[in-house]
């Protein structure tokens, strides 16, 4: 386990990476190998994708994976990279604020110094988003747990208004203000990539803004010019990797040829990338 002072230093370093106009760019990882590749490519931090991590562990995304399995995977990632790690903990892995506080303590124990906590609801018969006051209580519990541990974990409050078609800019700003007052450090609004919308969010949120990019979204340079402080891609890298796996399997099992295997990482390069790392 990473010692307390190192964790605190990593948390402070991670916080300092969130600069409007010079965004932290995160190609999200989901396992040890993807995390090492992302770090080796030059990423200043590694952020997990809950979907990619869930799939790698044989589960669907959307509050279906249990906390222990998820954070054990995060701990393995944190063991093999030198840069700060941020963990996507979905809605917090718990029914109530006390459980979210437990999750935050487990995140710190795993060696991560950032979290995403989303406000979506996945249970049948519920609304698309958790009520503001209830979500604020969960964020407050996470903040209090981190503060009590003496590790300034960056709490990124994810707001799914755009992703789930539950509201626009005004509702997003309203929720953002409440979550920041509860102790969040940044606001993540996946699904919002229209330049004017992003600009309005960046101007209206008194904290670093994180957007989720991908095919069809403005390039990082344009998002930076709009005031974005963090750009991530969610499960997109994992999806691309799995698409390549399917294409290779289909070609091998169908035509019996190997063209889709061309262009892969060299065995020696990948093996060397993992060499010297602690056995986990």
pLDDT tier for residue 126 given thresholds of 50, 70 and 90: confident
For residue 24, the cross-strand partners are: 230
- Tell me the helix, strand and coil percentages in the chain, rounded to 5: 50, 10, 40
Contacts of 74 by beta carbon, 8 Å cutoff, 6+ apart: 48, 53, 85, 87, 107, 110, 111, 112
Q: What is the CA radius of gyration of the chain?
A: 19
Q: Is-contact 93 70, C-beta < 8 A?
A: yes
**Fold assignment, 4-234:** TIM Barrel (3.20.20)
Per-residue pLDDT of 236-252, as tens digits, reads 999 999 999 999 999 99
Give the phi and the psi of residue 238 in degrees, each rounded to 5.
-60, -40
Residue where the block lists tokens 């755009």: 162
Encoding tokens for residue 24? 């932290």
Q: Is-contact 43 34, C-beta < 8 A?
A: no
Task: Tell me the mean pLDDT in the region 212-217.
Answer: 97
Per-residue pLDDT of 19-56, as tens digits, reads 999 999 999 999 999 999 999 999 999 999 999 999 99
Give the phi and the psi of residue 212 in degrees, each rounded to 5.
-105, 115
Could you list the beta-strand ranges (E) of 181-247.
186-188, 209-212, 230-232
């Amino acid at each position: 386990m990473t010692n307390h002072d190192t964790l605190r230093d990593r948390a402070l370093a991670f916080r300092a990476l969130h600069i409007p106009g010079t965004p932290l760019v995160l190609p999200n990882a989901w396992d040890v190998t993807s995390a090492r590749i992302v770090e080796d490519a030059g990423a200043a931090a590694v952020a997990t994708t809950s979907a990619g991590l869930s799939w790698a562990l044989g589960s669907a995304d959307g509050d279906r994976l249990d906390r222990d399995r998820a954070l054990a995977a995060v701990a393995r990632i944190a063991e093999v990279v030198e840069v700060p790690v941020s963990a996507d903990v979905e809605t917090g892995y718990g029914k109530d604020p006390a459980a979210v506080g437990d999750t935050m303590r487990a995140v710190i124990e795993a060696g991560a110094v950032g979290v995403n906590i989303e406000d979506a609801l996945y249970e049948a018969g519920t609304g698309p988003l958790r009520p503001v006051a209830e979500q604020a209580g969960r964020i407050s519990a996470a903040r209090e747990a981190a503060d009590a541990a003496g590790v300034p974990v960056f709490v990124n409050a994810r707001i799914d208004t755009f992703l789930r078609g539950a509201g626009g800019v005004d509702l997003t700003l309203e929720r953002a203000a409440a979550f920041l007052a509860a102790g969040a450090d940044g606001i993540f609004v996946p699904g919002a990539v229209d330049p004017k919308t992003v600009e309005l969010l960046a101007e209206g949120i008194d904290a670093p803004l994180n957007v989720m990019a991908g095919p069809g979204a403005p390039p990082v340079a344009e998002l930076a010019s709009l005031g974005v402080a963090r750009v991530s891609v969610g499960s997109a890298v994992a999806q691309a990797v799995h698409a390549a796996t399917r294409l290779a399997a289909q070609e091998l099992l169908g035509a019996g040829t190997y063209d889709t295997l061309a262009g892969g990482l060299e065995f020696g390069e990948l093996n060397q990338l993992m060499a010297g790392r602690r056995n986990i």
